[in-house]
Amino acid sequence: MIILGIETSCDETAAAIVVDGTTILSSEVSSQVKVHHPYGGVVPELASRKHIEAIVPIVSAAIQSSDVNLKQIDGIAVTQGPGLIGSLLVGFSFAKAYAFALDIPWVGVNHLEGHINSVFLESDPPPFPFVSLLVSGGHTSLYYVTAHLEAKLMGQTRDDAAGEAYDKVAKMLGLGSPGGNIIDDLAAKGDPNRIVFPRTYLDKQGFDFSFSGIKTAVNRYIQKYSDDYKNRIPDIAAGFQASVVEVLTFKVIQAALERGCGHVAIVGGVAANNGLRQRVTRAAKENGLQVHIPSVRLCGDNAAMIAAAGYHHLKAGRVSTMDMDVFSRSQ
Ligand code: KG4
Ligand code: ZN
């Protein structure tokens, strides 16, 4: 089954052609990072306008580079939510119209289901059940995954998402936005033990997270050393990253051990983090677990993961209808 995936939930306009939820024929992503950069965060109104400009060229590029013709596309999968309403509406309305014109089925996909299914686009996917840590700009959640579209929430952040903490700390340090990868690069140059920030485990037996405390701790450090903190930015980045990575790693390993499953997955934009990838890989090995982290291009928002999840809906005969609408938050 050849699926056209479309993703416009935030600031990336993306389209992909994927076969049977596993094989990527093409995956195009147009990022708006430069557009929002001067504002220090995503401006929703600008985001929707940019999606409108990009959607047709990006879908065309995905189809062209996949070498399939329009008649070969069996269905369309499009992000329905959660995300920015104005942004979601661009991809969602486009998908409705395109499916109608091609006379093929289409389905709205939950963006988080997309991230969870991103591991199935790699050559070594986990067997069910497995524990998946979804870490992105909007979410930090642990799931017990028993099937492609069956994920039980084990815990989630009570305040900021991990990616949001990265972005806010980057902003405080004057590094620009989004700043996750900038902090990641700087952390590699700093000493993680020179400035020790708190680790927020909450209940060590539980699987909820909290990242607002570490953000405040970094802010306090900056205030306290306002004269010379700029000389210690790599150490601040390394100390901050060590704190976030330690807690994320501890919880995902604990979750797998508690559930007795031998496989863990890390997905979402923050799964691109080098410190997290290395630490989780090491901890998994020490605990006899196997870890699955998609390649970096599949960690951030993309449409291949939407096509991968959508494939399982369409295969089960679950199709969307024209009266359906987007949603901003998960229920
Ligand atoms: O999954 P994603 O592209 O969008 C959402 O669904 O939110 O994740 C974006 C988030 C941003 O907060 C960004 O700063 C973060 O992922 N990110 C990283 C890295 N690359 C992207 N965070 C830490 N380290 C990275 N290397
Ligand atoms: Zn995402």
Report, as an integer, the average pLDDT of 217-243.
97
Distance in Å, CA 163 to ligand 1 centroid: 5
Q: pLDDT tens-digit profile of 40-68?
A: 889 999 999 999 999 999 999 999 999 99
Looking at the CA of residue 185, tell me the nearest atom of ligand 1.
26
Residue minimizing CA distance to atom 22 of ligand 1: 180
Looking at the CA of residue 162, tell me the nearest atom of ligand 1.
12
C-alpha neighbours within 13 Å on the C-beta side of residue 299: 23
Residue minimizing CA distance to atom 16 of ligand 1: 269
User: pTM of the entire structure?
Assistant: 0.96
pLDDT at position 262: 98
Residues measured by CB to lie within 5 Å of ligand 2, the ion: 136, 301
Has residue 331 got a pLDDT over 70?
no
Report, as an integer, the average pLDDT of 187-212.
96
For residue 164, the tally of other CB atoms under 10 A from its CB is 23
pLDDT at position 104: 98
pLDDT at position 321: 97
Has residue 172 got a pLDDT over 70?
yes
Amino acid identity of residue 180, one-letter, is G
**311 vs 300: CA distance, rounded Å:** 20
Q: Which residues line ligand 1 (CB under 6 A)?
A: 10, 136-138, 163, 166-167, 178-181, 184, 268-270, 272-273, 300-301
Please work out, in degrees rounded to the nearest 5, the angle formed at the alpha carbon of residue 298 by the alpha carbons of 263 and 164.
Answer: 90
Distance in Å, CA 103 to ligand 1 centroid: 36
Distance in Å, CA 11 to ligand 2 centroid: 10
Which stretch of DSSP H or E encloses residue 79?
strand 75-81
Written as six digits, the tokens of 236 are 């601040």
Q: Give 278's pLDDT tier (boundaries 50, 70, 90).
A: very high
- Is the N-terminal amide bond of 129 cis, ω within 30° of 0? yes
- Is the N-terminal amide bond of 44 cis, ω within 30° of 0? no
DSSP code string of 98-142: HHHHHT--EEEEEHHHHHHHGGGGSSSPPPSSEEEEEESSS-EEE
Phi, psi angles (nearest 5°) of residue 151: -130, 120
User: Any idea which ligand is nearest the CA of 138?
Assistant: 1
Q: pLDDT tens-digit profile of 81-110?
A: 999 999 999 999 999 999 999 999 999 999
Residues 6+ apart with CB under 8 A from 211: 140, 157, 159, 160, 161, 162, 164, 165, 200, 244
Has residue 197 got a pLDDT over 90?
yes
- The torsion of the CA quartet 235, 239, 242, 243, rounded to 10 degrees, works out to -170
Report, as an integer, the average pLDDT of 256-280.
98
